[in-house]
Amino acid sequence: MSATEKARIAELRRQIEYHNYRYYVLDDPEIPDAEYDRLLRELQDLETTHPALISADSPTQRVGAAPLRAFAEAVHAAPMLSLENAFSDQEVADFDRRVHERLKIEGDIEYSCEPKLDGLAISLRFENGRLVQAATRGDGERGEEVTQNVRTIASIPLRLRGGDVPAIMEVRGEVFMTKTGFEAMNAAAREKGEKVFVNPRNAAAGSLRQLDPRVTAQRPLAFFSYGVGLVEGIAMPDRHSAILTSLREWGLPVSREQQCVIGIAGCRAYYAEMAKRRNALPYEIDGVVYKVDRIDQQQALGSVSRAPRWALAHKFPAQEELTRVVDIEVQVGRTGALTPVARLEPVFVGGVTVTNATLHNEDEVRRKDVRIGDTVIVRRAGDVIPEVVSVVLDRRPDDARVFQMPAHCPVCGSDITRVEGEAIARCSGGLFCAAQRKESIKHFASRRAMDIEGLGDKLVEQLVESGLIGTVADLYALKNEQLANLERMGDKSAENLVAAIAHSRSTTLPRFLYALGMREVGEATALALANHFGDLDALMQADVDRLQQVPDVGPIVATHVVDFFHQPHNQEVIATLRAAGIHWPAIEARGLTEQPLAGKTFVLTGTLEELTRDEAKAHLQTLGAKVSGSVSKRTDCVVAGSDAGSKLTRAKDLGIQVISETELLRMLREGGVV
């Protein structure tokens, strides 16, 4: 073994210990889990090659760090085990093979599949049905006693339901935070200028390890159970899945996603399904867990060091990774808004290679203190644009440079203005600015606006740069020959594009209004404006007061709309578009007519299929209804989509009318708004 290897082992141990401390003791990790896992794996590999160097105090020989002194220590009657991780199909296949070999059986194994919740493990001790102690995992043998805090979590029962409860039972599960709870909590913290949490897991851990339970009580914590430790005084079922059912019957929450499958093929299908649904789930998961379902088989398999041989965590690709900020540039949006964007060293995260990440605005750059040269955590979850989460200060180079917002637009050189109290700085160049022109044309052509198929971002940029178009109105004058001369554009695609542009002439008024790209006028507002005024000329002539009669339109939106239509340039573009043949079916103006749902209060809950929430709300408001966020005695009707939860239950309890989306659509059709 070489001296460098020995030094590397020492260095890895130092680093892992430091990150353990950040993670377990301070609840404030500096690096993403994937990076931590790599450090640990590197150390494990080196120690496997050189077993003589393994020492009892190596981070590979224990799990977690010592409890904080301020909490009492709690001893687990049965140790809290950890899980072996798999990152590939091959590792899952190896696991299944080992299970077969140890059990000496041929046929498919029955597995219980569950989401791998991204929170923190907790053990709840119930004696004769009463919750007497709650403890964190700690080192697996003993953790921190957090009973007072756990008692504040609404979903954890203080007493088990039913007469037949065990004399002693340790329930094992995960405390976590829902995504919406996390967002709301961070938004409130940001408003008060308090510390925000990096992700729901840290938020859950930080909240549970508060010394003051009143603070914990304010935090939106949730809990799912996924197993048991010591159980005495009752015969438990002989399958893991049946144990979960018992737990549920005793009043303990269990994830609805749990599913029994046959063999490794079933596990794969479950993994694929959950990977697809991951971002739509209300809470974060970082993978799935496969557990041999039969308890006799689990017992035959036993455990190695700290992980059972009968379970495996199959992890999803990391959504957070480390990389370096090469530069910070400023991007100009459709409305002139300037967004600082970090140019990154390419990094594979969330399943794609990422080279840019948004920094939102100048204040965010200051708040996160991101500097050019810094190592940062980037996050890419689902289709959301990648963002810089935080800086790893430990790795800041001496020559890291502070970002300065430019005084002039980097594209057109116009002055940059930032209205007092607003976070967004803007280029004042309007459509003189090529960047704003490009963005407004991209928006106009986009799917939910005029839906011009084949007119993608790159092509718009080419068209503007080549001088073929200056405004959206110029699109309708484009000829095949002009397009066919562009790079990477053949006769056929030129023809298709001209046809797609022509096709877009037949549209709807809400789409057209949305396509114009007025500030603060999203799809729902465009819809409300269209329904209220019924026709474009009436809208163009409306003043601020008149506009504010439209549901959900306040003084700011009204001013943006008036400003937009007052600009001669915009009037000209609209006139050209109409002359080019843009048309839409007539809508009956609702502004002054009788409103069939006047005085009625609606609540929307669950997932709607046909309409977005905003659209449903705008339509209901057009018919005169009020749309509220919570169900009360004053609610007249609840529209329940799929997965409707507590609001639906409450509506039923209060005897309030509940309708489906289909019934809502019928109502809207009768009202003439869809």
Q: Which residues sit at the interface with ligand IVH, rule CB under 6 A?
A: 81-83, 114, 116-117, 121, 137, 174, 226-227, 289, 308, 311, 313
When the beta carbons of 225 and 531 are compared against ligand IVH, the nearer one is 225
When the beta carbons of 82 and 570 are compared against ligand IVH, the nearer one is 82
> What is the nearest approach in angstroms of ligand IVH to the Cβ of residue 398?
38
When the beta carbons of 254 and 416 are compared against ligand IVH, the nearer one is 254
Where is 662: in which H helix or E strand?
Answer: helix 661-670
Please, is 106 exposed, middle or buried when counting C-beta atoms within 10 Å of its C-beta (0-12, 13-18, 19+)? exposed
Strand duo 320-332 + 375-379: pairing: antiparallel
3-state secondary structure (DSSP) of residue 370: coil
Retrieve residue 36's tokens: 């931590």
When the beta carbons of 81 and 427 are compared against ligand IVH, the nearer one is 81
Lookup result for tokens 């399943």: 351
Please, is 163 exposed, middle or buried when counting C-beta atoms within 10 Å of its C-beta (0-12, 13-18, 19+)? exposed
Asked whether the beta carbons of 279 and 382 are under 8 A apart, the reply is yes
Residue whose C-alpha is closest to residue 63's, from 134, 120, 132, 148: 120
The 120-127 sheet, strands edge to edge? 130-136, 120-127, 168-177, 221-232
3-state secondary structure (DSSP) of residue 115: strand
> What is the nearest approach in angstroms of ligand IVH to the Cβ of residue 556?
44
When the beta carbons of 146 and 450 are compared against ligand IVH, the nearer one is 146
Asked whether the beta carbons of 113 and 266 are under 8 A apart, the reply is yes
> What is the nearest approach in angstroms of ligand IVH to the Cβ of residue 172?
6
**Cα 272 from Cα 257, distance rounded (Å):** 13
When the beta carbons of 86 and 117 are compared against ligand IVH, the nearer one is 117
Retrieve residue 25's tokens: 């003791």
In the bound state, the residue with its beta carbon closest to ligand IVH is 121
Residues carrying an active site annotation? 116
**Cα 221 from Cα 198, distance rounded (Å):** 16
Q: In angstroms, how far apart are the furthest CA atoms of the chain?
A: 87
> What is the nearest approach in angstroms of ligand IVH to the Cβ of residue 121?
3
Q: Which residues pair with 539 in a beta bridge?
A: none
Contacts of 25 (CB under 8 A, 6+ apart): 65, 66, 68
Residue whose C-alpha is closest to residue 341's, from 349, 330, 325: 330
When the beta carbons of 313 and 357 are compared against ligand IVH, the nearer one is 313
Strand duo 73-75 + 375-379: pairing: unpaired
